[in-house]
Amino acid sequence: MQPTTITGVTVTPVAFIDPPLLNTVGVHQPYALRAIIRIETDGGLRGVGETYADTAHITRMEAAAEAIIGLDVFALNRIRDAIDQRVSRMTVTGGDGVAGMITTASTTDRVFSPFEVACLDIQGKALGRPVSDLLGGAVRDRVPFSAYLFYKWAGHPGAADDGWGEAIDPAGLIRQAHRMIDEYGFTAIKLKGGVFPPDEEVAAIKALHAEFPNIPLRLDPNAAWTVDTSVRVAAELDGIVEYLEDPTPGLDGMAEVAAEAKMPLATNMCVVAFDHLKPAVVKNSVSVVLSDHHYWGGLQRSRQLAAICDTFGMGLSMHSNSHLSISLAAMVHLAAATPNLTYACDTHWPWKTEDVVKPGVLGFSDGAVPVPTGPGLGVEIDEDALERLHQQYLDCGIRDRDDTGYMQSIDAGFENTSPRW
Ligand SMILES: O=C([O-])C(=O)C[C@H](O)[C@@H](O)C(=O)[O-]
Ligand SMILES: [Mg+2]
């Protein structure tokens, strides 16, 4: 086997066009940011990873990149330890990359994740095996995803219609859902809520249910509701949604809602790190955890999360933020090798029009992505595209995801409060 000692690491921030998708903290800016991690080894093999690109996160990753030179890509425990030691000495704050919605995840896990993915990409190439084989082997050959609907404006203020049009009511969402299902074949639907008063969002879910009676639905207001409102909405949506995601903030509030709600409660807000799991189980706060390798510490630690969920009888789904193909490939390998990940995964994929990899490997059919079977992750960087999206990052002026600040620049009276209703 070729030698696999890390000799070089680069961190390249990129920006890609993003539509004005609304959520409870504000609205997506005209560009979404990501950072592309590339690792080189003495044997000539290279690997890639993808993560957030907020300024503080980039600063930590540049420090982490220095700390892992000279380590072997198979020594993931040593690599995590080196990153942990370096990152825990740093005083830089912020940089969660998720507009403040997931603030209590582990910093070390978030920084380690893209380096772990790049190392697994190299391990797979060295062994001639797909990353899913390094995670215990695929148990499915295609990974289903959900149609991720957003309330949205027709375009960013002052710009042309982005092609998706406006969706601020049930009719607009139904149009959006039809287009996504026609183009991708999705067999589950998630609506990002927390944007309009709960009764309007309940009406939208009921309209989607009437239009797509056989498709499982989810509603996620990102903790925009009080316990009482959540209990009322849960009663209204009984038998209509497969789960209700983060209706209210905190483990205690979620436990109060869970005691009344008939459907499972899911979260990617109150259980986002390993030390949240015990209290969540003790309090009975949630029955489904949305995993996300970007902040759970990579693919192997996400499988540890899956094992803990399995042990305590909790279901597993998968969370997404705006992302490119390297993340999609990592998500697909992980989901393929996680037997108890039985819900369709979230993805922002349909909302992006640009990428950094050569086309052809990843694609959707019947709402699912076939699991790549070649060595490593199975994606290859398109150097010209990477350079173009890096230049776009340099030119666009956005350095941190700030949905709230962008919304306030359009609507000065907007307040980011939780719970709001
Ligand atoms: O499930 C979730 O909470 C998300 O997907 C969080 C994201 O940040 C989403 O709200 C978004 O992209 O606006
Ligand atoms: Mg969520």
CATH number for position 232: 3.20.20.120
- Whose C-alpha lies nearest to ligand 1, atom 13? 23
Residue 361 has what pLDDT? 86
51 and 140 in a common domain: no
pLDDT of 153 over the 90 cut: yes
- Whose C-alpha lies nearest to ligand 1, atom 10? 23
Residue 196 has what pLDDT? 98
SS3 345: strand
Q: Is the sign of the CA dihedral 179, 184, 190, 193 positive or negative?
A: negative
Annotated catalytic residue, options 125, 190, 319, 348? 319
Q: Look at residue 318 and tell me if it is in a domain.
A: yes
Strand order in 46-51's β-sheet? 6-17, 31-41, 46-51
Q: How many A from CA of 143 to the centre of ligand 2? A: 19
Domain of 307 in residue numbering reads as: 133-370
* CB contact set of 59 (below 8 Å; sequence gap of 6+): 90, 92, 95
243 and 196 in a common domain: yes
Q: Look at residue 411 and tell me if it is in a domain.
A: no
**Which residues approach ligand 1 with their CB closer than 6 A?**
21, 23, 98-99, 101, 192, 220, 222, 268, 319-322
205 and 88 in a common domain: no
Neighbours of 308 (CB within 10 A): 16
Annotated catalytic residue, options 28, 156, 190, 192? 192
Residue 289 has what pLDDT? 98
138 and 123 in a common domain: no
Residue 51 has what pLDDT? 98
Domain count, the chain: 2
212 and 146 in a common domain: yes
Q: Which atom of ligand 1 is nearest to the CA of 268?
A: 3
Share of the chain above pLDDT 70, in %: 100
For residues 185 and 162, the answer to whether their CB atoms sit within 8 Å is no
pTM (predicted TM-score): 0.98
Residue 97 has what pLDDT? 87
Q: Look at residue 82 and tell me if it is in a domain.
A: yes
271 and 160 in a common domain: yes
Q: Look at residue 377 and tell me if it is in a domain.
A: no
pLDDT digits (tens, 9 = 90+) for 318-365: 999 999 999 999 999 999 999 999 999 999 999 999 999 999 889 999
pLDDT of 96 over the 90 cut: no
267 and 297 in a common domain: yes
255 and 157 in a common domain: yes
Residue 249 has what pLDDT? 98
Interval 52-59 mean pLDDT: 98
Which residue type sits at 376?
G
* CB contact set of 195 (below 8 Å; sequence gap of 6+): 22, 23, 24, 151, 201
352 and 290 in a common domain: yes
359 DSSP assignment: T
Average pLDDT of every residue of the chain: 97
pLDDT of 95 over the 90 cut: no
pLDDT digits (tens, 9 = 90+) for 283-305: 999 999 999 999 999 999 999 99
What pLDDT band is residue 94 in, cutting at 50, 70 and 90? Answer: confident
pLDDT of 211 over the 90 cut: yes
Residue 100 has what pLDDT? 85
pLDDT of 248 over the 90 cut: yes
pLDDT of 101 over the 90 cut: no
Q: Look at residue 339 and tell me if it is in a domain.
A: yes
pLDDT of 69 over the 90 cut: yes
Residue 103 has what pLDDT? 85
Interval 229-244 mean pLDDT: 98
pLDDT digits (tens, 9 = 90+) for 105-120: 999 999 999 999 999 9
What pLDDT band is residue 172 in, cutting at 50, 70 and 90? Answer: very high
SS3 160: coil
Is 352 one of the annotated active-site residues of the chain? no
185 and 52 in a common domain: no
